Amino acid sequence: MSENSAAQSQQANRAPSNNVFVGLKPVMSYVTAIIMHLNSNNREVIVKARGNAISKAVDAVEVARRRFFEGKLVVKEISIGTEVLGQENERRNVSTMEIKLEKKD
């Protein structure tokens, strides 16, 4: 594989810069990520989570909205869905959620 094709495939797998993926870190880590995205001239940020991390994503959004932006951050859209994970023998459904936030002036 050449360096150019490796770089192209790596760029294809990258998420958009305004996404925050919620996982195992503490809630305040994701709150900080949301604040950094919105303070770097982005008007929108999308918080994504799946499985047990969904409640942590909701907590992070609410902390950002109520403590740090106090009325300037609005939930624009909430999307829910299901992903199928695992191999053929061990397939399972995992819930997903995307919360799109918009900063108002």
Distance CA 48, CA 30 (A): 11
Total domains in the chain come to 1
Radius of gyration of the chain (CA): 16
Position 29 in a domain: yes
Position 90 in a domain: yes
Position 76 in a domain: yes
Position 1 in a domain: no
Distance CA 40, CA 74 (A): 17
Query: Which residues constitute the domain of residue 99?
Result: 17-103
| Averaged pLDDT score across all residues of the chain | 88
CATH of the domain at 95: 3.30.110.20
Position 7 in a domain: no
Q: How large is the average pLDDT for residues 87-97?
A: 94
Distance CA 88, CA 86 (A): 7
Which carries the bigger pLDDT value, residue 50 or residue 4? 50
Check pLDDT > 50 for residue 72: yes
Distance CA 28, CA 31 (A): 5
Position 2 in a domain: no
Answer yes or no: are the C-beta atoms of 14 and 40 closer than 8 Å: no
Joined together, the tokens standing for residue 64 give: 């950002």
